Amino acid sequence: MSTRKKLIAGNWKMNKTAADAVTLAQELVAAVGRQPAVDVVVCPPFTALESVARTLDGSLIKLGAQNMHAEPSGAFTGEVSAPMLRALFVTHVILGHSERRQLFGETDPAVNLKTLAALKHQLRPIVCVGETLAEREAASTLKVVQAQVERGLEGVGKDHAANLVIAYEPVWAIGTGKVATSEQAQEVHAFIRGLLGKLFTDPVAQRIRILYGGSMKPANAPELLAQKDIDGGLIGGASLEARSFLDLLAAAAAS
């Protein structure tokens, strides 16, 4: 049994107005109570962060953002910085999501700068990595993931590394209903933990949570979460309704 507490993070993507986000957050607060057996993070869009922060106040549910800029301030129209997120009581930030990489041209060096900036400002980065279908079919999954982990985490000090969260999200499984088998996921998770061991020492690697993401649902979660190196989930579609998200929390608590 691992000593890592499971973490379930909901990635709401570009869904929900501030009012809709508050409704969902209220349902979660009422059901999760003050002592969840798992760590819970919700990541609404920027426009709902402030109102959801108010709803979560006093609960154990943590607030995450879906992206940020690496610089603390400046002439970067349309961007949001780590200090701005911190001022809204944000504690986590998703970085390098495959949608950002594929649709907005985000590169490993950019993810790296953001990761360093997040850690510097006491935000916990949830750094996303994962291969495309073509890369998996070309048997280059581990090579791709290795490059993303090594480049994305370059320069992270051993002392800060335990604050990292890694999300392994095979691109072909995101929003497609096609979930990785527990064997496929565990293989990559164990590989990532080995890489983290080389970068930061084994004891530190044992403390870093590695989440699985990609069509995780209440029906497939128990098998995934039972794997030795799967420490939780980054949940898209199934995080948009209280019932399915709460069922995922229950699955994580039972694993």
Site residues for ligand PGA per CB under 6 A:
11, 169, 174-175, 213-216, 234-238
Q: Which of residues 31 and 240 has its CB atom nearest to ligand PGA in the complex?
A: 240
CA distances from 28 to 10, 57, 163, 211 (A): 11, 12, 25, 20
Residues constituting the chain: 255
Q: How far is the CB of 57 from ligand PGA (least distance, A)?
A: 25
- C-beta pairs of 70-78 under 8 Å, 24+ apart in sequence: 70/110, 70/113, 70/114, 70/116, 70/117, 71/117, 72/117, 72/121
Termini Cα distance of the chain: 10
From the CB of 245, what's the least distance to ligand PGA, in Å? 11
Which residue's CB is nearer to ligand PGA, number 123 or number 173?
A: 173
Q: How far is the CB of 167 from ligand PGA (least distance, A)?
A: 7
* Of residues 36 and 96, the one with the C-beta less far from ligand PGA: 96
Is residue 189 within 8 A of residue 145, CB to CB? The reply is: no
Q: What long-range pairs does 100-109 form, CB within 8 A, spacing at least 24?
A: 100/67, 102/171, 108/147, 108/148, 108/151, 108/152, 109/151
Please give the Cα distance from 154 to 156 (Å, whole number): 6
Of 123 and 216, CB closest to ligand PGA: 216
Q: Which residues are catalytic?
A: 97, 169
State the DSSP code for 181: P
**Smallest separation (angstroms) from ligand PGA to the CB of 95:** 12
